[in-house]
Structure 1
């Protein structure tokens, strides 16, 4: 490594400072200091959640109470028994496996399995694809 000088390192100190207070904060601070100097009695308050991302706790407790008082049992609609039987029967009539039917409608085999077991949440687009691939009407009047 001829011609290359000695390696040097930069040992200058790096000073990291806190961000300067905004003008509004400076005004408040000046007003408080002026009041202290004049001898006036002052009272300063620090908000509990100031400078944090936490929401006010009162709104959280209200929402929690509403949820606790809620009596409705909420659940997703599942595939009706008639629909799953129709899909299974139509697939058997066409002599297709679940995987072949899934490939025909461009979906995963797991989706066909969920529809036939009644675990799937009905999706009108998938039902339309199934109707076309199987040549049967799965919705509406039979």
Structure 2
């Protein structure tokens, strides 16, 4: 004997060599009635906004010294500066969202301090509001274009 136990019964060993894609429910029902093997697979990466996964992973990837995950949120000074700058320009959250090509919920999350900072969104808000939202001097006016500071 070559180490193979002949009394072992293998159940469910179907040939997957002639597998084809079933696109309709009638084709699926037919395959089930005929005893064909049916495998469902989820296609990954379809209709996914580019860069969304990477930013979420980067946010969760930050750890504190104790090994606890820490998700960074917008600071109070930034959220207050956004709200003050928006009111100074007499814009609603919806108006600001339209100008920066984002949803009003995004502006609301930044102003309430619930958003994870996105540099592109902050840069667009800076341009529309005319104030600094990143780095030092948050809330101060942006330098005029072409001048160095």
How far off is 1:73 after superposition?
1.2
| 1:65-105 deviations in Å (ceiling 9; x for gaps) | xxxxxx51113210111100110110011111000000011
Distance 2:130 2:80 in 1: 15
> Which residue of structure 2 aligns with residue 43 of structure 1?
3
- Mapping for residues 1-142 of structure 1, pairs under 5 Å: 36=1, 42-44=2-4, 72-142=67-137
Q: Which has the higher helix share?
A: 1
| 1:18-40 deviations in Å (ceiling 9; x for gaps) | xxxxxxxxxxxxxxxxxx4xxxx
How far off is 1:141 after superposition?
1.6
Q: Which has the larger radius of gyration?
A: 1
TM-score by length of 2: 0.49
Distance 1:72 1:127 in 2: 29
Q: Name structure 1 gaps, 5 residues minimum.
A: 1-35, 37-41, 52-70
RMSD between aligned alpha carbons? 1.9
